[in-house]
């Protein structure tokens, strides 16, 4: 976003190479962010739909490997999107001080499929499955525990609403932030400095900003951890042993 903003409020004074490099890094961050969303969806799918085997399937080693592969894949795919700019920096600039990022039709289609269609499809399928299982578990609790009917009913209703809310927020925010960008990328020959293209680009980056809030702010331990950081208690001796669970 700083690079995109710099091209809007002033001329690009740091050279064509850094312009291409900035675009390449932006593509990596966007692709890895979407990939992390898919990984978290898989993690939640296994946790809800196969909880007995969660600790054996989702290990620390496998998580580290998947995250590294996600970033590596993003770096390799981003080369395809920015190969013209990386090999010929400044080739598509019309005047000095411009930072124009050009992508051909094939690259835009590949970007649409890999960064939007496939991730959205996987996320929706996985979360729909999680939602169905969560609702069925809540209903099973309500039907089998007759002694505390009212209490279980309230718990079941709360679980259903929480599952529906989480699913809705994740899918809607992702679609709202990403759909305008890919609509523009399919019809535009290049990313010019128009205000609308700048807006949809910032909106795309804003989705990556929202992901941690959507996934983690619902958890009390995360809020406690943020409080420790903001209040600088993390700098105190023994802060690593603080109980935030």
Dihedral-angle region of residue 59 (phi above 0 means left; psi in -120 to 50 means alpha; beta otherwise): beta
- Distance of alpha carbon 215 from alpha carbon 235, whole angstroms: 26
Nearest to 218 by CA among 151, 161, 176: 161
Residue 116 makes CB contacts below 8 A (sequence gap 6+) with 34, 178, 179, 182
Q: 149-187 vs 118-144: helix axis angle to the nearest 10? A: 170
- Distance of alpha carbon 52 from alpha carbon 73, whole angstroms: 31
Q: What is the pTM of this model?
A: 0.72
- Distance of alpha carbon 143 from alpha carbon 123, whole angstroms: 30
Cβ neighbours, 10 Å, residue 1: 14
Task: Please list the pLDDT of the chain residue by residue as tens digits (245 residues).
Answer: 676 666 666 677 777 788 788 888 888 888 888 888 888 888 888 888 888 888 898 898 999 999 999 999 999 988 887 877 777 776 666 666 677 777 777 777 888 888 888 988 888 888 888 778 777 766 676 666 554 444 544 444 455 456 556 666 777 888 888 888 877 776 655 445 567 777 887 787 787 777 677 767 776 777 788 888 888 888 888 777 777 76
Q: What residue ranges do the domains of the chain occupy?
A: 2-212
pLDDT digits (tens, 9 = 90+) for 74-114: 999 888 878 777 777 766 666 666 777 777 777 778 888 88
pLDDT digits (tens, 9 = 90+) for 139-158: 676 666 554 444 544 444 45
- Distance of alpha carbon 185 from alpha carbon 3, whole angstroms: 18
CATH entry 2.40.30.10 includes domain 2-212: no
């Amino acid at each position: 976003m700083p690079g995109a903003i710099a091209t809007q409020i002033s001329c690009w004074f740091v050279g064509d190479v850094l312009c291409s490099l900035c675009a390449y890094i932006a593509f990596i961050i966007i692709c890895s962010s979407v990939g992390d969303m898919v990984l978290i969806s898989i993690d939640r799918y296994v946790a809800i739909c196969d909880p007995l085997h969660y600790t054996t399937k989702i290990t620390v080693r496998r998580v580290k490997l998947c995250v590294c592969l996600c970033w590596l894949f993003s770096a390799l795919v981003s080369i395809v999107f920015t190969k013209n700019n990386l090999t010929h920096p400044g080739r598509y600039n019309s005047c000095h001080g411009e930072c124009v990022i050009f992508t051909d039709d094939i690259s835009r289609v590949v970007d649409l499929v890999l960064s939007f269609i496939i991730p959205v499809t996987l996320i929706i399928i996985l979360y729909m499955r999680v939602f169905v299982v969560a609702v069925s578990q809540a209903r099973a609790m309500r039907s089998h525990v007759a002694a505390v009917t009212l209490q279980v009913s309230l718990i079941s209703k709360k679980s259903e609403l929480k599952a529906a809310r989480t699913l809705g927020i994740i899918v809607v925010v992702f679609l709202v932030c990403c759909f305008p960008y890919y609509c523009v990328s399919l019809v535009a020959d290049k990313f010019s400095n128009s205000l609308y293209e700048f807006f949809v680009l910032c909106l795309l980056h804003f989705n990556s900003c929202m992901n941690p809030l959507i996934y983690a702010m619902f958890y009390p331990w995360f809020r406690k951890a943020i409080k420790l950081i903001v209040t600088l208690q993390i700098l105190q001796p023994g802060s690593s042993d603080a109980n935030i669970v």
